[in-house]
Amino acid sequence: MNRQRLNIGIIGAGRIGRVHAETLAFRVPEAFPMAVADVNHEAAAAVADRCGIPKVSADYRDVLNDSSIQAVLICSSTATHADLVVEAAAAGKHIFCEKPVDLTLARIDKALAAVSKAGVKLQIGFNRRFDANFARVRQAVASGEVGTPHRLHIISRDPAPPPLAYVKVSGGMFLDMTIHDFDMARFLIGDEVEEVYTAAGVLVDPEIGKAGDVDTAVIVLRFRNGVIGTIDNSRRAVYGYDQRAEVLGDKGSIATANCYPNQATVSTAESVRRDLPLNFFMDRYTESFASEIRAFVEAVAGDKPVPVTGADGRIPVVMGLAARKSYDERRPVRLSEIA
């Protein structure tokens, strides 16, 4: 292994692949993006040109078979994740995989078993854990600053629904959008959820309902330690990307606000106002995407545990499946019924 830099291959040159490639190229000097592969060779070549990546391919196997590469970032479509994790583990590569590993538990378990057998590291891409605002909430809970937590409330609303073609292959809102909030709930409270209850509907776009999904939901979480959590989701918040969280404890509370393009407030005789919050997740979580890749590189280079494990990737899928079951059956569902 190069003592100076960790050689990394990137599989997938779409939106998130480009973001991670730029992080490696321009913000993490301890690593080097050695290769990028995508079935769209033109997209891979564009990323390589932008980031100074020397090797480009339309076949991901060229990345896995490259002995100079120690780790891979799996940034391809969700349906490919599990198989790529298995193959990367067999090739002896350490792995960063975007969420979710898969939409089914059987395929997730197969992938995690392959990682365990190979003895490689696997980090899942739940980037919101690395957001400074949410990290501060976790610190307040973990340190006892707000006392024993009683209530958690997460607000997570998109500015607009995704394209219908994406909705049909996404696994549904609970496994695509809410999965981040399920992970955030576990992260902020530091305990596991035992039961979920879902109230949901189609209030934004009837076509989403015709595709078998929902676009608006409130999910109640019951944690093992007694904390009661709620997740408030919507596929459309016309004012922007709405990302907030609050924890109430017996000694106080801590809450995060939305992020804005500026901190200016305009005060006139008619109103006091400010600009709308950031409107896109890539803008809201720019720093967290960089931080999670930096953490992965540090874990591999320093042979330390990764901060977001394969188990951390599996549990939110269980929660998502339970949330859907609760919606379908109109009752609380214990995670043990799914897992």
| Sheet containing 55-57, strands listed edge to edge, beginning at the edge strand earlier in sequence | 55-57, 31-37, 6-11, 71-74, 94-98, 122-125
Give me the pLDDT at residue 29, please. Answer: 95
Percent of the chain with pLDDT over 70: 99
Q: In 61-95, which positions are buried (b, 16+ CB within 10 angstroms) versus exposed (e)? A: ebbbebeebbbbbbbbebebbbbbbbbbbebebbb
Give me the pLDDT at residue 3, please. Answer: 54
Dist CA 158 CA 234 (whole Å): 6
Q: In 245-279, which positions are buried (b, 16+ CB within 10 angstroms) versus exposed (e)? A: bbbbbeeebbebebbeeeeeeeeeeeeeeeeebbe
Q: 58 burial class (0-12, 13-18, 19+ CB within 10 angstroms)?
A: middle
64 phi, psi to nearest 5 deg: -65, -30
pTM of the predicted model as reported, rounded to 2 decimal places:
0.95
Q: Which residue ranges make up each domain of the chain?
A: 6-120, 129-285+316-337
**Is 167 within 8 Å of 211 (Cβ atoms)?**
yes
Looking at every residue in the chain, the average pLDDT score rounds to 96
Mean pLDDT of 238-262: 96
**Is 55 within 8 Å of 39 (Cβ atoms)?**
no
What DSSP character marks residue 40?
S
Which secondary structure element, helix H or strand E, spans residue 124, and what is its range? Answer: strand 122-125
Mean pLDDT of 57-62: 98
Give the position of tokens 């944690």. 223
In CATH, which superfamily holds the domain spanning 129-285+316-337?
Dihydrodipicolinate Reductase; domain 2 (3.30.360.10)
Position 339 pLDDT exceeds 90 = no
In this predicted model, what pLDDT tens digit does every residue of 86-111 receive, in sequence order? 999 999 999 999 999 999 999 999 99
Dist CA 27 CA 96 (whole Å): 17
Label residue 252 by pLDDT band (50, 70, 90). Answer: very high
Dist CA 222 CA 146 (whole Å): 19
Position 2 pLDDT exceeds 80 = no
In this predicted model, what pLDDT tens digit does every residue of 213-234 receive, in sequence order? 999 999 999 999 999 999 999 9
**Is 245 within 8 Å of 184 (Cβ atoms)?**
yes
Q: In 137-153, which positions are buried (b, 16+ CB within 10 angstroms) versus exposed (e)? A: bbebbeeeebeebeebb
Give me the pLDDT at residue 37, please. Answer: 98
CATH architecture of 6-120: 3-Layer(aba) Sandwich (3.40)
**Is 219 within 8 Å of 324 (Cβ atoms)?**
no
Coil/strand/helix, residue 250: coil
Give me the pLDDT at residue 1, please. Answer: 41
Give me the pLDDT at residue 4, please. Answer: 72
Mean pLDDT of 55-83: 97
